[in-house]
Amino acid sequence: MKPFVYSANPARVIFGTGTIAKLPEEVKRLGLSRPLVLSTPEQSGHATKVEELLKSAGISCVGQFNGATMHTPADVTEKALAVVQAGNVDGVISIGGGSTIGLGKAIALRTDLPQIVLPTTYAGSEMTPIIGQTENGVKTTQITPKVLPEVVIYDVDFTMTLPVGLSATSGINAIAHSVEALYAQNGNPVIDLMAAEGVRALATSLPKIVSNSSDPDARSDALYGAWLCGSCLGLVGMSLHHKLCHVLGGTFNLPHAETHTIVLPHAVAFNAPCIPDALANLAKALDNDDAVDGLNVLLSKLNVKKGLKEIGMPEDGIDKAADLAVKNQYWNPRPIEREGVRELIRRAWAGEPARADIQ
């Protein structure tokens, strides 16, 4: 056994069906008396349900801020902070996916307010000390324990109505966390187990959800897998895949989950020559003899878009993205060179099947 270091992130996780009923208890346990509920405009109905639940338990709620949006723009954060200050808010409750959770983290970064998160997608941001923010068209990331939520309540009921398309891309987004964890520079045997199990749970459940979106067992398994994958993201460093997705999303305002979905098999194919052990673990989790083929097959089963051009990236952005991706050096199992990265992006833009032959 090789020596390793394992550091767990502190978090209280409540998992199950109907677990939103635990929310008032958790609010009181944290000593909150004036929480603010965060959501996107589309999730305002969920936010209202949260607010009503708190009021029925005798907990005053400052109200809602429903302006969360993808990539956590700085101007949206400033608007939310104005509500926080005006309402003397003492904690935030984020209900939604990565956009809402990102806003909660941005508020916590600036105020140290405690967070309770109720995820409604499989993105996994709730389990990480990572925050990505966008300003003037540039997305930057930061790692700090200040943005870790204090409590995460996973309620399968809130994922039952998640649209099939978003379920698929959100699930692949989660799988991407575990995939890169399998070959992380600071990986360890515990993370390997969590990552492989997270991939297996999602790769098995997502096709079932596409066939029957109201399958409660598949929904539960997918949320379980997303928790494991998100935990991996929060415990080890990521590399080329996540770097590229942040560059592409922030530069071209591409949808987060769809970008991860399209890029993932190509990023794995790029790194393939340097990660034989990780590929073996990933192939087994995908129930395929070949990891890259396993990802291609899974995406085909899920009927997702496979080209960046389909989600709004212009062809003349390929070179710009390649330049940005290699601008600042970061660890990756294979050396980051512009020519190879550009070819990776080109294939992802065109929607070609991933192939482990990028020079």
One of 3.40.980.10, 1.10.540.10, 3.40.50.1970, 3.40.50.300 is the CATH number of 12-159, namely 3.40.50.1970
Distances in Å between the alpha carbon of 345 and those of 80, 148, 328, 353?
Answer: 35, 32, 17, 12
For residue 127, the model assigns a pLDDT of: 94
For residue 102, the model assigns a pLDDT of: 96
For residue 329, the model assigns a pLDDT of: 83
For residue 204, the model assigns a pLDDT of: 98
pTM of the model: 0.92
**Mean pLDDT over all residues of the chain?**
95
Percent of the chain with pLDDT over 70: 100
What's the rounded mean pLDDT across residues 330-341? 96
The phi and psi torsions of 226 (rounded to 5 degrees) equal: -65, -40
For residue 123, the model assigns a pLDDT of: 85
Q: Are 267 and 135 in contact (CB under 8 A)?
A: no
Q: Are 195 and 189 in contact (CB under 8 A)?
A: no
Q: Please report which helix (H) or strand (E) contains residue 46, including its range.
A: helix 44-56
CATH architecture of 164-350: Up-down Bundle (1.20)
What's the rounded mean pLDDT across residues 232-250? 93
The band of 37, judged by pLDDT with boundaries at 50, 70 and 90, is very high
Residue 71 burial by CB count (10 A; 0-12/13-18/19+): exposed, middle or buried? buried
**Distance between terminal CA atoms of the chain?**
33
Distances in Å between the alpha carbon of 96 and those of 50, 51, 162, 273?
Answer: 12, 14, 10, 38
Report CA 34 to chain centroid distance, whole Å. 28
Please report, for the chain, the start and end positions of each structural domain, with discontinuous segments joined by +.
12-159, 164-350
- The C-alpha atoms of residue 284 and residue 127 are separated, in whole angstroms, by 25
Q: What is the pLDDT of residues 284-309, one digit of tens each?
A: 999 999 999 999 999 999 999 999 99
For residue 276, the model assigns a pLDDT of: 97
The residues pairing with 153 across neighbouring beta strands, listed in sequence order, are 14
Type of residue numbered 239: S
Q: What is the pLDDT of residues 60-116, one digit of tens each?
A: 899 999 999 988 999 999 999 999 999 999 999 999 999 999 999 999 999 999 999
151-155 and 115-119 beta bridge pairing:
parallel
31: left (phi over 0), alpha (psi -120 to 50) or beta: left
The band of 8, judged by pLDDT with boundaries at 50, 70 and 90, is confident
C-alpha angle with apex 83: 77 to 85, nearest 5 degrees?
100
Q: Are 35 and 27 in contact (CB under 8 A)?
A: yes
Residue 132 burial by CB count (10 A; 0-12/13-18/19+): exposed, middle or buried? buried
The residues pairing with 91 across neighbouring beta strands, listed in sequence order, are 35
Q: What is the DSSP string of 162-223?
A: S-HHHHHHHHHHHHHHHHHHHT-TT--HHHHHHHHHHHHHHHHHHHHHHH-TT-HHHHHHHH
Type of residue numbered 350: A
